[in-house]
């Protein structure tokens, strides 16, 4: 800590200045000179600069602005929240300016996750994810927008967190769809004709994930595949959810389990439970039988009542 050149108080302003200066070509050397030295490599040390929302630089090769901001709180809650920055960002980041050699690293999830303890014991391995992704429309599309598509396009390693058992379904759906919609913005356009075939389109968007229809069916107990399907290959079959097996939805509802109902508030969980899918209890045969018998009975009762009324009239006429 003591070997830091910049103090906590001035660090923010310095870095902001650095950003401003860095976007002005030619101003760089002075800015670097101002904070040269050792910084420390705790997450707190890194975040001292990187937590600033305006931190970024213009890539001299492409001219693109590169965002270098990391939200410390969000990171703390993410799947990687327990890790040190330097666990992934290897190299001498304790130096500022960070040495050229450590910059521009391409971090690859599968490489790391495959090495993890018991990684191959997982029901859903990263190898499988890699294979599925290779077939995904994101990987095979010719669109320039899909160029260089990697895990990080969807899974921000500083923020991503897996859905958990017991988490409200609506929240899982919202977070999942937000990922897709952050690129597929046109879908949100009220004049968009996409999904118009879908009855109760907005209701579907609130209750199921894009992924539930836009990935192939997976084996029971497996999560959704990473093989995202092109629109034309996606699931158009209502019965995949609205039926007794609800195979597509099973993957979403795996997040509900006994733990969801256990413990305090079981009654409210029971009252507000989300397990009912329209159509699951649909049976054309039972509906036809039920409504048919009820309709017939109604007719018989009306006829019976009418017969009674006539008998009553007859009785009154006899009396008078």
Partner 1 sequence: MSALYLYPRWLRAWHWINALLFLVLMYTGASMHFGEGGWLMPFDLAVTVHNTAGILLTLGWIGFVVGNLTTENGRHYRIHLSGFVDRLIVQGRYYAQGIFRNEPHPFHVSVGMKFNTLQQLSYLGVMFGLMPLLILSGWAFLFSVSLPETLLGLPSVWLVAMAHLTLAYLLVLFLLVHMYIITTGETVTTNLRAMITGWHREDDPSSGQTEEAKS
Binding residues (CB under 8 A) for partner 1: these are 200, 203, 244-245, 256-258, 260-261, 267, 270-276, 278-283, 286, 289-291, 293-294, 297-298, 301, 304-305, 307-308, 310-312, 314-316, 319
In angstroms, give the least distance from the CB of 308 to partner 1.
6
In angstroms, give the least distance from the CB of 74 to partner 1.
30
Nearer to partner 1, 111 or 220 (CB): 220
Q: What are phi and psi of 135, to 5 degrees?
A: -95, -5
Nearer to partner 1, 23 or 315 (CB): 315
In angstroms, give the least distance from the CB of 226 to partner 1.
25
In angstroms, give the least distance from the CB of 70 to partner 1.
37
In angstroms, give the least distance from the CB of 299 to partner 1.
11
List Cβ<8 Å contacts ≥24 apart for 277-285: 277/241, 277/242, 277/246, 277/249, 278/242, 279/238, 279/239, 279/241, 279/242, 279/243, 280/242, 280/243, 280/244, 280/246, 282/242, 282/243
- What is the DSSP code string of 183-213? H-GGGGSTT--TTTTSTTHHHHHHHS-HHHH
Residue 115 tokens, joined: 């090495």
Chain mean position to CA 15: 32
In angstroms, give the least distance from the CB of 222 to partner 1.
14
In angstroms, give the least distance from the CB of 200 to partner 1.
7
In angstroms, give the least distance from the CB of 238 to partner 1.
11
Q: What are phi and psi of 234, to 5 degrees?
A: -75, 175
Nearer to partner 1, 195 or 242 (CB): 242
Q: How far apart are CA 111 and CA 24, in angstroms?
A: 37
List Cβ<8 Å contacts ≥24 apart for 174-177: 174/206, 176/209, 176/210, 176/211, 177/205, 177/209, 177/210
Q: How far apart are CA 179 and CA 176, in angstroms?
A: 5
* Residue 38 DSSP symbol: E
Residue showing tokens 């919202």: 174
Nearer to partner 1, 265 or 307 (CB): 307
Nearer to partner 1, 54 or 281 (CB): 281
Q: Residue 158, exposed/middle/buried by CB under 10 A (0-12, 13-18, 19+)?
A: buried
Nearer to partner 1, 93 or 255 (CB): 255
Nearer to partner 1, 120 or 287 (CB): 287
In angstroms, give the least distance from the CB of 100 to partner 1.
55
* Residue 244 DSSP symbol: S
Nearer to partner 1, 230 or 278 (CB): 278
Nearer to partner 1, 170 or 194 (CB): 170
């Amino acid at each position: 800590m003591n070997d830091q050149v910049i103090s906590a108080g001035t660090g923010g302003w310095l870095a902001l200045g650095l950003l401003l200066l860095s976007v002005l070509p030619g101003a760089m050397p002075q800015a670097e000179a101002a904070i040269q030295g050792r910084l420390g490599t705790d997450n707190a040390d890194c975040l001292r600069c990187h937590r600033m929302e305006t931190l970024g630089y213009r890539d001299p090769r492409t001219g693109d602005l590169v965002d270098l901001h990391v939200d410390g709180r969000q990171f703390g809650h993410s799947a990687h929240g327990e890790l040190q920055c330097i666990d992934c960002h290897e190299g001498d980041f304790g130096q500022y300016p960070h040495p050229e050699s450590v910059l521009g690293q391409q971090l690859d999830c599968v490489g790391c996750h495959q090495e993890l303890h018991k990684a191959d014991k997982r029901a859903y391995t990263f190898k499988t994810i890699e294979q599925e992704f290779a077939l995904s429309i994101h990987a095979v599309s010719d669109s320039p927008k899909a160029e260089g598509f990697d895990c990080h396009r969807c899974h921000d390693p500083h923020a991503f967190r897996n859905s958990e058992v017991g988490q409200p379904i609506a929240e899982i759906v919202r977070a999942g769809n937000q990922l897709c919609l952050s690129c597929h913005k046109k879908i949100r356009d009220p004049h968009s004709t996409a999904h118009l075939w879908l009855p109760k389109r907005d209701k579907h968007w609130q209750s199921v994930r894009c992924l539930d229809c836009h990935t192939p069916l997976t084996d029971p107990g497996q999560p959704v595949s990473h093989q995202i399907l092109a629109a034309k290959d996606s699931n158009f079959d209502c019965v995949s959810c609205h039926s007794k097996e609800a195979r597509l939805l099973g993957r979403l509802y795996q997040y509900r389990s006994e733990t969801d109902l256990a413990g305090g508030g079981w009654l409210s969980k029971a009252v507000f439970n989300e397990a009912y899918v329209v159509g699951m209890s649909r049976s054309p045969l039972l509906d036809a039988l039920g409504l048919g018998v009820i309709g017939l009975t109604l007719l018989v009762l009306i006829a019976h009542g009418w017969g009674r009324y006539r008998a009553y009239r007859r009785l009154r006429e006899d009396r008078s």
